[in-house]
Amino acid sequence: MVKAFLGMGLLGSNFVTAMLEKGDKVRVWNRSPEKAAALEPLGAEVFATPARAVQGAAFVHITLKDDQSVDEVLAAAETGLQPGTVIIDHTTTTKEGAIARTAAWKEKGFTYIHAPVFMGPANAREGSGYMLVSGNRAAVEKVSPLLEKMTGQLVDLGPEEGKAAAMKLIGNCFLVAFTAGLRDTFALAGALGQNTRDVGNLFEIWNPAQMLPARIRRMSGGDYSKPSWELAMARKDTQIFIDTVQQQGGHLAIMPAIAALMDEWIAKGLGGNDWNVIAKDVVR
| pLDDT, tens digit (0-9, with 9 covering 90-100), for 18-67 | 999 999 999 999 999 999 999 999 999 999 999 999 999 999 999 999 99
3-state class of 189 per DSSP?
helix
Q: How many CB atoms lie within 10 A of CB 110?
A: 18
Interatomic CA distance for residues 187 and 283, integer angstroms: 30
Interatomic CA distance for residues 181 and 255, integer angstroms: 8
Mean pLDDT of 166-174: 98
Q: How many CB atoms lie within 10 A of CB 213?
A: 9
Read off the pLDDT of residues 171-180 as tens digits, 9 standing for 90 and up: 999 999 999 9
pTM: 0.94
Return the pLDDT at 284: 84
Q: Are 96 and 71 in contact (CB under 8 A)?
A: no
Mean pLDDT of 195-220: 94
Interatomic CA distance for residues 111 and 88, integer angstroms: 8
Read off the pLDDT of residues 245-278 as tens digits, 9 standing for 90 and up: 999 999 999 999 999 999 999 999 999 999 999 9
DSSP 8-state code for residue 112? E
Given a cut of 90, whether residue 1 has pLDDT beyond it is no
DSSP 8-state code for residue 81? P
Mean pLDDT of 206-219: 93
Interatomic CA distance for residues 10 and 192, integer angstroms: 38
